[in-house]
Amino acid sequence: MTVWILYVLTRLRNLPEVLGEIGITMLPLTSDVLSFAMNVEKLDFEDAIHYATMKLNGINRIISNDSDFDKVDVEKIF
């Protein structure tokens, strides 16, 4: 779940603080992430942004029910 969707669902004004308290770090959308995502052919662009963010930050697991992530080298949980 993206932080934006979490915010939309909860409308928590202190969402960054709440995420920090439960050990979740928000990662920035950078030009490196966008460049990487633009070259991912197996995923649509939104999924490619998540994938690129993961790969550039050494993250190998994703909590998602999106079967598209079965097409790439990540461990999908859910």
The predicted-structure confidence for 27-43, as pLDDT tens digits, reads as follows: 999 999 999 999 999 99
Asked if residue 56 lies in contact with residue 36, where contact means CB atoms within 8 angstroms, the answer is yes
Asked if residue 33 lies in contact with residue 45, where contact means CB atoms within 8 angstroms, the answer is no
Residues of the chain with pLDDT under 70: 1-5, 7, 9
Q: Can you say whether residue 23 is alpha, beta or left, with left for phi > 0 and alpha for psi between -120 and 50 degrees?
A: left
Asked if residue 60 lies in contact with residue 72, where contact means CB atoms within 8 angstroms, the answer is no
Global pTM value: 0.79
Q: How many domains in the chain?
A: 1
